[in-house]
Structure formats: C-alpha cells, structure tokens
C-alpha cells in the first residue's frame, strides 16, 4: 500500500465552495472528493461527474416487482387455490385485474424502493461495520472539504486554493487502497 499526498481545502460556505470548484476545474486540477454536511445542488455538474444510472436500475427493479406481483397473484388466486371472494369470478386473471391493481402497484414500489437502497449502499461501498472515510469530522456539521491530489505542485495549488476562499489548507498523506 503506497501513500500519496493530498490537499484538504476547507470552506465554511457552500456558495464559496461552488465557485472554488469551478476555479479549480478551470485550472485543470483533478478534484478527488468533496465532503459536505448536506447536498449542494449543482456540485456534481461543477465537478464534471458523469450522470448516474440509478434511475434506470430503479425502473428495472419496479418492472421486476410488477412481474413478481402478476406471477404471484395469478398462481395464488387463479391456478393454485381459486376462491369466490365477494362474487368475483376466479377463473380468469384479466376479469380480476381491477382487484389486483393495488397489489401490483404496491409490489412495484416495494421492489423498487428496497432494491434501490441495497444498490445504493453496495455502489457507495457502505456495508455494515465499515469504518467511516470522512477525513474531517467538521464536514458533518458546518464545514466543506475539497480533496485534491498533489503531483509536485503544492505551492501553486495552495496559492490557488487560498485565492478561492479556503479558510484552512492542509497537506496530508493519504493511503491508497
């Protein structure tokens, strides 16, 4: 495991952080990560991050839930053990479809929601008993931290970050995983 240097620039205002990100990206520096106490809208676009594909997976999970609901209701209520409930015929799925719509909706939402939470945690590498990777506990309260790798340009980076309004600049050794 090799260690590399990174600069941690700390900001106290999200608007100052946003303009700092734009200036740092304009100078062609790579921003490794930004830690914030709350979501900063537009930060992903300013950092140049690719759009997420989580919405596509959510749609697919919803389709899976719908398919499971249809299969489950058809097997239980039509094929396996048909019952006359309230005078409804039990020999056709399509004739009972209006009664099955709420179940299909709920299973679609159930599968999409639960599988999206699992996908988000796996994609974010946030599994149980994992140690926190937050480099500064103040970023959970009211500070913002921008992490930039250093490649023999410490002085220029420090000067640029000072100009952008950073209230604190630290050079730290970071373990590469």
Please state the domain count of the chain: 2
Residues 77 and 31 in one domain: no
pLDDT in tens, 49-84: 888 888 999 999 999 999 999 999 999 888 888 777
**CATH number for the domain including 45?**
3.30.70.1150
Residues 60 and 110 in one domain: yes
Tens-place pLDDT, residues 22-35: 999 999 899 999 99
92 domain-assigned: yes
Residues 31 and 61 in one domain: no
Instruction: State whether 107 and 62 are in the same domain.
Output: yes
pTM (2 d.p.): 0.69
Q: Say which DSSP state 164 is in.
A: T
Please indicate, yes or no, if residue 152 is contained in any of the structural domains. Answer: yes
3-state secondary structure of 12: coil
pLDDT of residue 1: 40
Q: What is the pLDDT of residue 15?
A: 93
Residue 25 inside a domain? The answer is: yes
Strand runs labelled E in 12-108? 33-35
Residues in the chain, pLDDT under 50: 1
- The boundaries of the domain holding residue 99 are 54-123
112 shares its domain with 58: yes
Task: Give the integer Cα–Cα distance in Å for 173 and 144.
Answer: 19
46 and 66 co-located in one domain: no
Surface-to-core class of residue 144, CB atoms within 10 Å of its CB (0-12 exposed, 13-18 middle, 19+ buried): buried
Considering the domain boundaries, does residue 130 fall inside one? no
Q: What is the pLDDT of residue 177?
A: 54
> Would 129 be classed as within a structural domain?
no
For the chain, the average pLDDT equals 88
pLDDT above 90 coverage of the chain, percent: 53
6 phi and psi, to 5 degrees? Answer: -135, 155
pLDDT at 12: 93
pLDDT confidence of residue 61: 98
β-bridge partners, 54: none
Final residue in a domain of this structure, among 123, 143, 161: 123
pLDDT of res. 152: 82
Q: Does 86 share its domain with 40?
A: no
Q: Is residue 158 part of a domain?
A: yes
Residue 115 lies in a domain: yes
In a domain, 128, yes or no: no
């Amino acid at each position: 495991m090799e260690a590399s240097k990174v600069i941690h620039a700390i900001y106290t205002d999200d608007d100052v952080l946003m303009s700092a990100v734009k200036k740092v990206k304009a100078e062609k520096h790579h921003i490794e990560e930004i830690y914030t106490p709350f979501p900063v809208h537009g930060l992903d676009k300013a950092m140049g991050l690719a759009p997420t594909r989580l919405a596509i997976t959510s749609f697919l999970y919803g389709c899976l839930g719908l398919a499971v609901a249809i299969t489950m209701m058809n097997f239980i209520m039509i094929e396996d053990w048909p019952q006359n409930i309230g005078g409804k015929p039990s020999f056709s799925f399509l004739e009972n479809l209006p009664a099955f719509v709420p179940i299909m909706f709920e299973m679609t939402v159930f599968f999409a929601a639960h599988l999206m939470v699992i996908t988000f945690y796996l994609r974010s590498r946030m599994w149980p008993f994992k140690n926190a990777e937050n480099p500064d506990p103040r970023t959970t309260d009211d500070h913002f931290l921008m992490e930039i790798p250093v490649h023999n340009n410490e002085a220029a980076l420090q000067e640029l970050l000072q100009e952008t309004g950073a209230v604190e600049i630290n050079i730290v050794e970071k373990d590469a995983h």
